[in-house]
Amino acid sequence: MTELAPEQITVILATDCGSTTTKAILIEKQAGHYRQTFRGEAPTTVEAPLADVTMGVRNAVRELEDLSGRRLLDPEGRLIRPAQAGQGCDIYVSTSSAGGGLQMMVAGVIREMTASSAQRAALGAGAIVMDVIATNDRRRPHEQIQRIRELRPDMILLSGGTDGGTVEHVVQLAEWIAPARPQPRFGSQYKLPIIYAGNRDAAPLVSQTLGNQFALAVVPNLRPTLEEENLGPAREKIHDLFLEHVMAHAPGYDKLLQWVDAPIMPTPAAVGNILQQIAQQEGINVLGVDIGGATTDVFSVFDGQFHRTVSANLGMSYSISNVCAEAGLEAILRWIPLEMDIRELRNRIKNKMIRPTTIPQTLDDLVFEQAVAREALRLAYQQHRQFAVSLRGVQQQRTVGDLFAQKASGQTIIDPMRLDLLVGSGGVLSHAPRMEQTAAMLIDAFQPEGVTRLAKDSIFMMPHLGVLAQVHAQAALEVFERDCLIYLGTCVAPRGQGKPGSLCFRYELDGPGGAQTGQVLAGQWRWLPLGLGQTARLRIEPARGWDAGAGSGRSVQTLVHGGTVGLVLDGRGRPLMLPANPNQARTLMQQWVAEARLYATE
């Protein structure tokens, strides 16, 4: 651990050990500000025959050395610390999702209440939730026991009952887990950790039931009352056990743990950390997505509430075939402006699945991958909306007005109209050859309503910054603001439907290029230039039946921010409906692609 004061720290090295790639970034203090300066990457090396994560880290750091000219490793391959002229670094931090990340099983009494809270705790801590066991999940007890038996989780989070509430049902869950004797994923040499975060009155009985077959840790109830969630202690315990058990058994992590100046965080936990800090600092609602090869993570902070979901089998390589199976090839084809051979496409999908590291060489290959990405993102967002809900089971005081509003507990808190910032990251979004392609994929999949800023995390730096924020918040926030996000621009999209060609809205735009007015018809979108760092005053007058945020047909005035793409005035309707007829859908896509110059060659 470094003993330097925060202000003395001038060079920071951060890595993210992903399941396929280890990414390293260098942050340096320049003219009083922290800036991300160089980046290197190398294949992750947790698999046989190398089976040592630090080899991948060293390779990524060596690339940083080549690019920056700064020597970071000594001849023995150790990090040089502290920073001196032209060599070394002051802090080294890392996240990890290698080896499949942190895999958990959670259990709670009622699926929609304590089990749901337990799931939120596990997901928020960066875990992949393999299954949720609840007394009311419609499976019969022997089926649940069989399922527990088949899983090989890294740990189990057991919750259930509010404090002073049911004991019987909580003990029942423990009685299912005990005979199932699930085996830990990495070897059978250690006891499977179980975190108990349920009714405190049941803790002694749970302990007695589980006996000494498991490593039981008891933490305060994550749902002490129906009105309250207390996920912090369970999340912290998950992180502790992640380091003690999972990381300690992963190849080479014993060494990596000695190198770092802050505890290694699961990658998604670090991303959640930085997004929460930004939402809080700016007072905005944020939605973030990271689409990887195997999974897609969606993060949201709405009204200060943080949610994260992992769509375990929605991704662009390992899981690409599953995206096609879940969405259906027809749903993917509607995003493609070209005619394609179905048989050939199906084979192409499977070949990508079995050789996940390949990249599209031809334009039609790229168009197809981006169409698959739209569906993967759409499905992941759908799952996130269903999961990010207000606490279920809360007793609500209702007034006469509420009777008409028909609001109940357990509704999604994701309101696309109130979304301020949408951030995309992950290979297919970050490495898209044109920024317009990234913006279009985000808009088509998430369908933001009203006025929403779009950004991409250019090189997926959020994990590094999330873990860095633990030890040097100032550096993390400065880099986030200056280097992490690339603002694409702003999307303006009224909610509603209209006959194609009818008026959707009129607009008046007053920006650096002067004042201009115009109109957008239903079924159209218009892409207007508005540069990075520029702003413009925008007045929208929606037609009847269209809502841009102030109600149907009511005008909206706002300040819009530019970006690498500019301003997207989207009159295609919300929800976005595409023609069922493939030929009509293709023609429409051709118009949209042409307007946005998505695949134009310079």
Partner 1 sequence: MTQAYTPGLKLAGRIRHRVCRRLPIPGEVLVQVGQQVSAQQVVARTWMPGEVTLLNVAHRLGVAPAEVPGLMQVQVGQQVQAGQLLAQTKGLFGLFRSPLLAPISGTVENISGVTGQVILRGPPQPIELLAYLAGRVTEVLPGEGVWIEAHVALVQGIFGVGGEAYGPIRLACQKPDQPLEPECLDQSMRGAVVVGGGRVSAKALHQARQLGISAIVTGGIDDQDLREFLGYDLGVAITGSESLGLTLILTEGFGEIGMQERCWRLLSSHEGRLAAVNGATQIRAGVIRPEVVIPLDDFDPKTQPSFPKIDPAEASTPSEWPSGGTALPVGAGASGPTLQVGSLVRIIRAPYFGQVGRVIDLPPMPQVLPSGVKTRVAEVQLSDGSRVIVPRANLEWIEEN
Q: Segment 330-369, which members bind partner 1 (CB under 8 A)?
A: 343-344, 346-363, 365-366
Burial 514-551 (b: 16+ CB within 10 A, else e): eeeeeebbbbbbbbbebeeebebebebbbbeebbbbee
Smallest distance from partner 1 to CB 434, Å: 6
Answer yes or no: are the C-beta atoms of 122 and 157 closer than 8 Å: yes
Indicate whether 381 belongs to the interface with partner 1 (CB under 8 A).
no
If DSSP codes are grouped into helix, strand and coil, which group holds residue 165? coil
Q: What is the Cα 408 distance to its own chain's centre? A: 27
Which stretch, 114-122, 175-183, 232-240, 514-522, contacts partner 1 (CB under 8 A)? 175-183
Question: Residues with Cβ < 8 Å from 279, sequence gap 6 or more?
Answer: 285, 286, 301, 304
Spatial strand order in the sheet of 535-542: 514-521, 503-511, 535-542, 556-561
The DSSP secondary-structure symbol of 335 reads: T
Whose Cβ is closer to partner 1: residue 185's or residue 561's? 185
Kindly state the smallest distance separating residue 262's Cβ from partner 1, in Å.
Answer: 24
Is-contact 168 205, C-beta < 8 A?
Answer: no
Which residue bears the tokens 């830990």?
184
Selected from 186, 225, 226, 411, the binder of partner 1 by CB under 8 A is 186
Q: Which of 239, 308, 298, 284 is nearest to 96 (CA)?
A: 239
Q: How many residues bind partner 1 (CB under 8 A)?
A: 80
> Which of 49-57, 119-127, 223-231, 586-594 is the region at the interface with partner 1 (rule: CB under 8 A)?
49-57
* Beta bridge partners of residue 103, listed in sequence order: 128
x-or-dash string of contact with partner 1, 484-523, rule CB under 8 A: ----------------------------------------
Helices (H), 481-565: none
Provide the minimum distance between the beta carbon of 64 and partner 1 in the complex, in angstroms, as a whole number: 11
- The whole-angstrom separation of Cα 257 and Cα 521 is 57
The least distance separating partner 1 from the CB of residue 108, rounded to whole angstroms, comes to: 16
Nearer to partner 1, 175 or 508 (CB): 175
Interface with partner 1 (CB under 8 A), residue from 2, 21, 96, 285: 21
**Binds partner 1 by CB under 8 A, chosen from 33, 78, 181, 554:** 181
Please, is 188 exposed, middle or buried when counting C-beta atoms within 10 Å of its C-beta (0-12, 13-18, 19+)?
A: exposed
Q: What angle do CA 245, 250, 252 make, to 5 degrees?
A: 125
297 contact partners, CB below 8 Å, separation of at least 6: 268, 271, 289, 290, 308, 309, 310, 311, 380
Round to whole Å and give the CA distance between 28 and 567: 33
Q: With contacts defined by CB under 8 A, name the span among 92-100, 405-413, 469-477, 536-544 that binds partner 1.
A: 92-100
Alpha-carbon distance of 169 to 202, in angstroms, equals 9
Residues within window 222-281 making contact with partner 1, judged by CB under 8 A = 251
Least separation, in Å, of the C-beta of 217 and partner 1?
A: 21
Answer yes or no whether residue 406 interacts with partner 1 by CB under 8 A. Answer: no
CA 296 to chain centre: 6
Q: Is 545 in the site for partner 1 (CB under 8 A)?
A: no
Task: Map residues 429-458 to x or -, x wherever contact with partner 1 holds by CB under 8 A.
Answer: --x-xx------------------------
- For tokens 């239903």, the residue is 522
Q: Which residues contact 7 (CB under 8 A, 6 or more apart)?
A: none
**Residue from the set 73, 205, 389, 394 that interacts with partner 1 by CB under 8 A:** 205
Q: Which is nearer to partner 1, 434 or 472 (CB)?
A: 434
Residue 82 or 356 with smaller CB distance to partner 1: 356
For partner 1, the closer of residues 42 and 423 by Cβ is: 42
Minimal distance, residue 119 CB to partner 1, in Å? 21
Look up residue 516 and give its two tokens. 């201009």
> What residue type is 564 in one-letter code?
T
Interface residue with partner 1 among 1, 32, 86, 189 (CB under 8 A) is: 189
> Which of the ranges 266-274, 322-330, 454-462, 571-579 carries the binding residues for partner 1, by CB under 8 A?
322-330
CA-to-CA distance for 63 and 256, rounded, in angstroms?
18
Query: In the complex, what is the shortest distance from the CB of residue 528 to partner 1, in angstroms, rounded to a whole number?
Result: 23
Judged by CB under 8 A, does residue 283 bind partner 1?
no
Select the span of 153-161, 174-182, 518-526, 580-588 touching partner 1 (CB under 8 A).
174-182
Minimum gap (Å) between residue 48 Cβ and partner 1: 7
Task: Please pick, from the candidates 213, 313, 497, 534, the single residue that binds partner 1 as defined by CB under 8 A.
Answer: 313
CB nearer partner 1, residue 128 or residue 275: 128
Q: Classify residue 78 by its DSSP letter.
A: P
Instruction: Give me the phi and psi of 393, to 5 degrees please.
Output: 95, -5
Length of the chain: 602
The answer, yes or no, to whether the previous bond of 193 is cis (omega within 30 of 0) is no
Among all chains, which residue has been given the structure tokens 């599209």? 360
Assess 164 for contact with partner 1 (CB under 8 A): no
Question: 3-state class of 515 per DSSP?
Answer: strand
Question: Least distance to partner 1 from the beta carbon of 59, Å?
Answer: 6
Q: For partner 1, give the closer residue by CB, 186 or 259.
A: 186
Whichever of 112 and 326 has its CB closer to partner 1, that residue is 326
Cα-based torsion angle of the residue sequence 583, 589, 591, 592 in order, rounded to the nearest 10 degrees: 160
The DSSP secondary-structure symbol of 583 reads H
Does 37 contact partner 1 by CB under 8 A?
no
- Closer residue to partner 1 (CB): 86 or 187: 187
CA distance 478 to 2: 21
Rounded to a whole number of angstroms, the minimum distance from the CB of residue 146 to partner 1 is 8
Is 398 one of the binding residues for partner 1 (CB under 8 A)? no
Asked whether position 311 contacts partner 1 by CB under 8 A, the answer is no
Q: Among 34, 92, 176, 592, which residue interacts with partner 1 (rule: CB under 8 A)?
A: 176
Q: Contact with partner 1 (CB under 8 A): which of 15, 19, 95, 119? A: 19
Residues 117-156 that bind partner 1 (CB under 8 A): 141-142, 145-146
In contact, 45 and 61? CB cutoff 8 Å: no
Indicate if the alpha-carbon torsion angle 117, 122, 126, 128 is positive or negative.
negative
Q: Which two tokens stand for residue 138?
A: 């419609």
From the list 78, 84, 164, 325, which residue makes contact with partner 1 (rule: CB under 8 A)?
325
Among 9, 11, 14, 20, binds partner 1 (CB under 8 A): 20
**Candidates 48-56, 511-519, 539-547, 561-569; binding stretch for partner 1 (CB under 8 A):** 48-56
